[in-house]
Structure 1
Amino acid sequence: MDFSGAVQWWDEWQLRVLVLGSLFVQCMLFFSSYVRRRALSSLPKLFIWLAYLGGDALAIYALATLFNRHRQKEQLAAGLEVLWAPVLLIHLGGQHMMTAYSIEDNELWTRHGITAVSQVVVAIYVFCKSWSGSGGEKRLLQSGILLFVVGIIRSIQKPLALKTASINTMIATYSTSTRKKQSISLCWKAMCGCSWDWYFTRSKTREETQEKDIPLEEFVQEAIKNLPELATDQKQAENLAWDQSLKVNAYRSLVDISAPYSSRIKSLKLSLALDYQHANSLSAAMLNEMFFLLYTKLPTIFSSYICFSLVCLPFLTLASVILFSTNHIYHDYNTTDVKVTYILFWCTALLDFISVFLGPSIVLIGSTKKVPQYNLLSFCARKKRPTVLMKLATLVFYKDYVNVHCYIEHAAKPSLLQVTELVHGYVRDGWKGYIHNDASYRKFNSRRGQWALRHQHHLGWSLKMPFDRSILLWHIATDLCFHHQGTTAHGQEFATRSRVISNYMAYLLSLHPEMLMPGSRIGTFTVACEDVELVLGSKYALDTERGLAHGILFWVQQFSLLDDARAIGSLVPKACKLAKGLMDLREVERWEVVQAVWVEMLCYSAGRCRGYLHAKNMSEVMELLTHVWFLLSFMGMETFADRFQKPEPSENMEEEEEEEEEEGEDDGESRVPENKINIFV
């Protein structure tokens, strides 16, 4: 085929290629929306991102091409091409389960609204100008009108959903004193039964009630006075905990708005009656609802005023397909156009039905429950013996980037529930045994390992440094203790749980330092790895984690360089010093201390991460830190906004609290023996 022949072929097939390409991208987005919450590598994420960006562009370009082709009258075959305009509007509306790829997309709702209006005008213009109107095409006209109804509604739903999920809209909604009572939409109950009653709600009435806040001291005393035991019927307790005040306070935390203590009392009492399994279940359900609000159309399309249209849209699409199929004058049209139209209609109808009736359930099934893991010693080992991928990345100066981003492992599924169990026990016992006034409440929320080391004063120095540095110090020490030959099978259970949290915190430090703590430094991992290489030189095996750990431990035994860190930096020598202090403890006590420190550090980090960052990260995976963040808020702990908006306790109360702690430490026991906090399982 010569150049002129290629140009002629493209002129004939251009519109067909564009509409089929648009359909392919929509199918790709449809399937991608059900795997986006899995732990995907960088390459699949790149393709999903490109499909999200290209979906709108391809539909707009196809509509523009259709507009140009129909500015002048064409052959009768144009009758079928004009039916593709409403289908392209449906494509422009995107998929129900992927309205936004990232949280920043929600802020572009104005642009999407203008685009939708302009493209609807173009599509209607093309349809009205090009339709021949002959009597034999009456069914095609009816089919086109039905598709236009679907296309216009679908194209408008997207900017509405984006506006609802924008940060400014959420702040305006949840910063007011307006409370909404919600009930389940009857049509959704009929469609999906009661299994989704916890999620799809509609606004029924509005009550203008002013929320009266109470002081922190009153909140604490009210909570302590009514501390419940674990409920006998956990399922009923979970259903009671799922109320409107919980949702409102959760959304407030998402946009860093401090919730009144008066509205948190009920949720706190109900949360303390739940065991860790049902608390984790409730947390997961609420986080899923947050995800649906931020990144899908579901909160918009399942509202009462368009619930009827929701049910009708797939059937309208199906009706248009049937009308087109019953038209028998195909001999007047191009055979290829007929086939393309069939493909467009049937695939669009199928995607609509699956998205509406099965979409939410499939998304929840596809979400991952694994805990990301990253390890400094593995990072160092790969630098010494690089993989093939790292060798290729070295050619383009991306070796360290690949080493960090392409070798993330994931702990087994029970790990998430196990960590939730530790956090739940820690907070519950804190309410029972430590918190007794507003000063102790603030003190408890500021723990990052001090309580776990209250009897090991010789290790307290490890917490008196910047938080990111302390994380890395304990991460190295945990690995050194884990690979120590003296670890028995009994201590392995504690060690495994401790290491899961340790590797997860290292993952946050290396990939999401902004979530770990505001001001966390990027590149800390690389500096620490260089320190390890300087410590060991080239004399020891650096190609495995265990080899590195044994080499460092041997170095500690052979050389007394812990007080001289000028040559190699202080991090690794101090980590060795900490590991040595931990190894002097009995095995069970050692791992209890390590586990307790990591639980406190995890809670400390979760409480100091902005709600916006949790919302931003929900687009890819539901982080363990986000689970802990919601669980802490649900159980009455301080949120990020509370630390800045709520008044500080009086100095006298803080001094009394410190005196009580010192007395407890001098006695070698906690403030009240029977209320000793137990975070070990």
Structure 2
Amino acid sequence: MFNPLQVIAGLFPVIRWLVDLWNGWSTQFLVLFSLTLQFVLLFLAGVRRHKDGGKRIFIIWLAYQLADYTTTYALGNLAAVSALHGHQLVALWAPFLLLHLGGPDNIAAYELEDNKLWARSTLTVAAQALGAGYVLYKNKNISSGGTFFWLAAVFMAVVGLVKSCEKILALRRANLSIIRDSMKTETSAKCTFFLEVEDDAPPRGGFNEDGRNRARVEEFVKKRAHALFHFCKSAMVDSSVDDNPPLLDSFRDHGISYRWKLIETELSLMYDILYTKAAVVHTLPGYCIRAASSLAVAASLLLFRFSNKAGYSRVDVAITYTLLGGALLLETTLLLTALLSTWTFAFLCTTRWSRLRHAMLCSGRWDKLRRVVVSLHRLAYATGIAVCLRLSRKWQGTMGQYSMLDKCTRWRTGSPPPLSGVWAWAVLGLLGPRSAWSVEVPGKVKDRVLNHISSIARGNDINTLGLIRKNWGEKALKPYESIAEVARLGAEIQEAIVVWHIATDILLAKLGKLTVRIEQQDVLDLDVGAIKAISQFMMFLLVKRPAMLPGLAQVKLYQRTEETLAKEWGDAAAADKLAPTLKPPASWIHSVCTMFMEQLRCGGPNSDPRLQRREKLAKWLYEHMPELDEHGKSSRVRFGIQLARRLYEREKTEKDSLQIVLALWTDILVFTANRCSRESHAKQLSRGGELTTLIWLMTEHRHRHEESG
């Protein structure tokens, strides 16, 4: 007969064995784990500039959080066990943990708030340095390793302390308030003079990134992004600059594709300043530290190689070699990455060391070096390695999508089941995101945005602070008084987004265009694809990125609207017999099974069943829901229906309703990007960036160009 007590008693020896194993080898495991975390961050941290969410982002977050905790815990273990017989060698590991605390150069802060906590990080580094010093002091009488042993320990301790202090300095300099203060005295990189004459011409094939041309296009854009970066940085921290870079005058010379790529690259450089060590790496002390640290680690490896290792555990010796080899690989990689970066080009253009500038730039040595790098990048793109290593600074090029009608029609009962705990996790994990997805930014959206920005810049609709004068939608609806009467732009932009989002879907459904897919649009439906993309993107910002909208977050606004839409969908489903008359929980099980079958049939948000349900709900709202309820009141849904009816009636005679809607959404999109807080733009850079951030910086460039002209 099964006896649980016997099973538990039988596990005691296994548990005791595991405890003894941990007590004997915990320090060895921790230092190797700390080294592993450094390599994970080195090779994966660059993903954050391109992507928001996913497994790799979770791994980066976990590695970043565990790095400091592992170092602290490991130093505590070292202080406790370093003097044990047979483990004297572990005293050398304390400086390695201090080096790991400094972290790789491509990640200093995970969130923007980490930069504000640089003072707290200073105390952490001080405590860790004292802990490492205590470990070395505690083992000062152990002399079996000879003089070489202690020289190696001193070299590693100095390198670790310097790199840890450098990280604190990087966090401090990346604080937005510190950057704003430094802009008053900081000089921009005078790169224009050093751009070669033949390099001023666009790459062959224009700015098409197909094949071998991609590396040359990126190199062309990177240099010009550095020349304009001082302006980008001042705009991000809301600081005025007096000088206008000469390249700003030629911002429009190379076409739309060039402008978008230039903006993407500038924001990528801004990511480097805020979330990596770029601000301290690409300085003369920074380069010297990397060269000296590589030499010091190599010297420590040689010193340990020739030191007396008699009496030490073979496992500890192997781990020490692993730590030294890993540190040498890390430091060498960081040194070469720093020297070969285009940030070095900007440093050489700005440095006061005229001899260094002349030796590298005027002599052409830097250009020869960069040609080698570009050739390697071209080979990496050709073989597909560039995708794995994330060599490109290109933005992900997508925009989030969220449809209220799609969410409210996924549960056929009209309301989601009250799932909680493990059941909710299982259902959501199995069926994926309910109404949020992403699409590539349509070319029509980019064209309309640029035309709108040029229009408001020429029309003097931007004040001296770079803010759009008119409220959202005013410019777009000014020629259409009949539509402006029922536009319901509202006191807050969130209300306008909800009303126009509903009106847009209803109008497209009545015109038979709601089922047009954004990614499969033909020439005749370009406007429809752009309308759907912007409408669903603005709802995505409202629901998923409320900080990217001006004003206070309006959670209740869209929640109540979705409740109203869900109720109407329940009435529509009952009237049209879209679902069997089942009572909970049978109706909930039916909905889950339906959603599961759609998912198996590759039923994404733009699948035929989901598009058809959105269309059915939109037509039901248009035909059956009155503009006022029984109390004579009107909700946002009813405002949207009223607006859709006015637009549909106009379409019968004027045939311009779609142009009105597209102009309105473009106006709202540009206004939102312009009025979003600079701090929100900066925070979003650590999550892959957002389309509104690119539009905001594009507006800043266009406005500054008009002022300088």
Q: TM-score, normalised by structure 1?
A: 0.74
> Residue 36 in 1 paired to residue 48 in 2?
yes
Cα gap change, 1:580 to 1:364, in 2 (>3 Å):
farther
- Amino acid of the structure 2 residue aligned with 1:256: D
Choose which of 77, 80, 86 in structure 1 pairs with 2:87.
Answer: 77
Indicate conservation of the 8 Å contact 1:404/1:510, yes or no: no
- Amino acid of the structure 1 residue aligned with 2:173: T
Q: Deviations over 1:66-122 (max 9, x none)?
A: 12334xx543531x2122111101111122112111011111111212222332233
Q: Deviations over 1:210-249 (max 9, x none)?
A: xxxxxxxxxxxxxxxxxxxxxxxx99997997576x4344
- Amino acid of the structure 2 residue aligned with 1:435: N
Indicate conservation of the 8 Å contact 2:408/2:414, yes or no: no
Indicate conservation of the 8 Å contact 2:156/2:300, yes or no: yes
> Residue 293 in 1 paired to residue 273 in 2?
yes
> Residue 632 in 1 paired to residue 699 in 2?
yes
**Structure-1 residue corresponding to 2:237:** 255
Q: Deviations over 1:501-529 (max 9, x none)?
A: 11111111002223212124113332121
Q: Deviations over 1:453-495 (max 9, x none)?
A: 3333221121431311111122122223444454485442111
**Structure-1 residue corresponding to 2:562:** 529
- Amino acid of the structure 1 residue aligned with 2:495: R
- Amino acid of the structure 1 residue aligned with 2:483: L
Q: Could you tell me how far apart the structure 2 residues matched to 1:273 and 1:509 are?
A: 36
Show the 5 A alignment for 1:180-199: 180-182=187-189
Helix, strand or coil for the counterpart of 1:332?
A: coil
Deviation at 1:171, TM superposition (A): 2.8
Choose which of 526, 546, 558 in structure 2 pairs with 1:513.
Answer: 546
Cα gap change, 1:18 to 1:490, in 2 (>3 Å):
closer
**Structure-2 residue corresponding to 1:167:** 176
Helix, strand or coil for the counterpart of 2:487?
A: helix
**Structure-2 residue corresponding to 1:435:** 460
Deviation at 1:619, TM superposition (A): 1.4
**Structure-2 residue corresponding to 1:199:** none
Show the 5 A alignment for 1:390-539: 391=419, 408-412=436-440, 414-415=441-442, 418-432=444-458, 434-435=459-460, 445-460=469-484, 461-465=486-490, 466-484=492-510, 486-487=512-513, 489-539=522-572
Question: Which consecutive unaligned segments of at least 5 residues does structure 2 have?
Answer: 1-12, 201-216, 342-385, 517-521, 580-594, 596-608
Q: Could you tell me how far apart the structure 2 residues matched to 1:565 and 1:279 are?
A: 53
Q: Could you tell me how far apart the structure 2 residues matched to 1:343 and 1:389 are?
A: 54
Indicate conservation of the 8 Å contact 1:422/1:599, yes or no: yes
**Structure-2 residue corresponding to 1:598:** 665
Helix, strand or coil for the counterpart of 1:100?
A: coil
Cα gap change, 1:353 to 1:474, in 2 (>3 Å):
farther
Indicate conservation of the 8 Å contact 2:53/2:687, yes or no: no
Helix, strand or coil for the counterpart of 1:33?
A: helix
Q: Could you tell me how far apart the structure 2 residues matched to 1:565 and 1:241 are?
A: 62
Percent of aligned pairs sharing the same letter: 23
Helix, strand or coil for the counterpart of 2:475?
A: coil
- Amino acid of the structure 1 residue aligned with 2:534: I
Q: Could you tell me how far apart the structure 1 residues matched to 2:132 and 2:112 are?
A: 30
Indicate conservation of the 8 Å contact 2:49/2:686, yes or no: yes
Indicate conservation of the 8 Å contact 1:82/1:131, yes or no: no
Indicate conservation of the 8 Å contact 1:562/1:573, yes or no: yes
Show the 5 A alignment for 1:372-387: 372-384=400-412
Q: Could you tell me how far apart the structure 1 residues matched to 2:173 and 2:501 are?
A: 41
Deviation at 1:599, TM superposition (A): 1.2
Q: Could you tell me how far apart the structure 2 residues matched to 1:442 and 1:323 are?
A: 60
> Residue 307 in 1 paired to residue 331 in 2?
no
Helix, strand or coil for the counterpart of 2:49?
A: coil
Show the 5 A alignment for 1:604-623: 604-623=671-690
Q: Could you tell me how far apart the structure 1 residues matched to 2:264 and 2:245 are?
A: 21
Helix, strand or coil for the counterpart of 2:251?
A: helix
Superposed CA RMSD in Å reads 4.1
Q: Which moved more, 1:540-549 or 1:575-584?
A: 540-549
> Residue 337 in 1 paired to residue 316 in 2?
yes
Helix, strand or coil for the counterpart of 2:496?
A: helix
Indicate conservation of the 8 Å contact 1:52/1:101, yes or no: yes
Q: Could you tell me how far apart the structure 2 residues matched to 1:7 and 1:265 are?
A: 64
Cα gap change, 1:350 to 1:369, in 2 (>3 Å):
farther
Indicate conservation of the 8 Å contact 1:66/1:126, yes or no: yes
- Amino acid of the structure 2 residue aligned with 1:501: I
Cα gap change, 1:3 to 1:534, in 2 (>3 Å):
closer
Q: TM-score, normalised by structure 2?
A: 0.72
Helix, strand or coil for the counterpart of 1:464?
A: coil
- Amino acid of the structure 1 residue aligned with 2:478: R
Question: Which consecutive unaligned segments of at least 5 residues does structure 1 have?
Answer: 196-233, 643-681
Deviation at 1:602, TM superposition (A): 0.8
Q: Could you tell me how far apart the structure 2 residues matched to 1:166 and 1:62 are?
A: 30
Q: Could you tell me how far apart the structure 1 residues matched to 2:640 and 2:287 are?
A: 59
> Residue 122 in 1 paired to residue 131 in 2?
yes
Q: Deviations over 1:222-278 (max 9, x none)?
A: xxxxxxxxxxxx99997997576x434433332334x26x54696764434452222
**Structure-1 residue corresponding to 2:109:** 100
Q: Could you tell me how far apart the structure 1 residues matched to 2:262 and 2:663 are?
A: 24
Choose which of 312, 316, 319 in structure 1 pairs with 2:296.
Answer: 316
Helix, strand or coil for the counterpart of 1:83?
A: helix
Q: Could you tell me how far apart the structure 1 residues matched to 2:700 and 2:168 are?
A: 31
Deviation at 1:297, TM superposition (A): 0.7
Cα gap change, 1:606 to 1:443, in 2 (>3 Å):
closer
Q: Could you tell me how far apart the structure 2 residues matched to 1:372 and 1:251 are?
A: 26
Aligned length: 580
Indicate conservation of the 8 Å contact 1:26/1:94, yes or no: yes
